[in-house]
Amino acid sequence: MTINLKELFDTKDLLNDKVVMKLLTAIKEGQIKEFDYLKFKQSYKALCQLGMDESTASKSAFLTASTMGLTKEKLLFTVQHYKNILNKEKEQFAVALKNQIATNIDAKALEINKFKEKIEDNQRKIQQMMAEKEILETEIININQLMEASKAKIEETRDQFKQTFDKLYSEIEEDSKLYDQIL
């Protein structure tokens, strides 16, 4: 059975569709073949859409799933499996974010410091060095603008990732608690 993960999780309020798709793709790539949390959630949601209350829908979906070998322990184990996938994506994102900061901010800050040192040296030199000083100051302004733009983009992406991650993680966590209480 094909599962549409975008419909399975409530992603409509999330800001960055690219982040949503990246996380859902990771979940899809790590999908377990047997009856698991995703298939259970799909059955559960379908029953809820038919008007069943959460408790009845959970029990009914679990009763059906248990005929295919699903136990409460297996269900909760597969919930953890998908949480682990999201956590791995979070770790990979943190590394990529750190690299982006190093490349687009730290390296630019070092470059700015080099230009400032050169400006100070040139100020001690004679009048003809003033032309070089003005060129370097212009470079600093341009690099600062690039750095600020990069920093804002990285922070926006980080915030969108965190919001998306927190939303998905929280939904899975709530499902886990609900199923643990009900089943």
Per-residue pLDDT of the chain in tens (183 residues, 90 and over written 9): 578 888 888 888 877 889 999 999 999 999 999 999 999 999 999 999 999 999 999 999 999 999 999 999 999 999 999 999 999 999 999 999 999 998 888 888 889 999 999 888 877 877 776 788 899 999 999 999 999 999 999 999 999 999 999 999 999 999 899 888 988
**Other C-beta atoms within 10 Å of 78: how many?**
20
Nearest to 58 by CA among 71, 75, 41: 41
Alpha helices in the chain (DSSP H): 5-8, 17-29, 37-49, 54-66, 72-101, 107-124, 130-182
CB 68 within 8 A of CB 35: yes
> b/e per residue, 112-123, with b = 16+ CB within 10 A?
beebeeebeebe
The boundaries of the domain holding residue 168 are 5-182
**Other C-beta atoms within 10 Å of 68: how many?**
9
Task: Specify the number of domains making up the chain.
Answer: 1
CB 71 within 8 A of CB 37: no
H or E segment to which residue 125 belongs: none
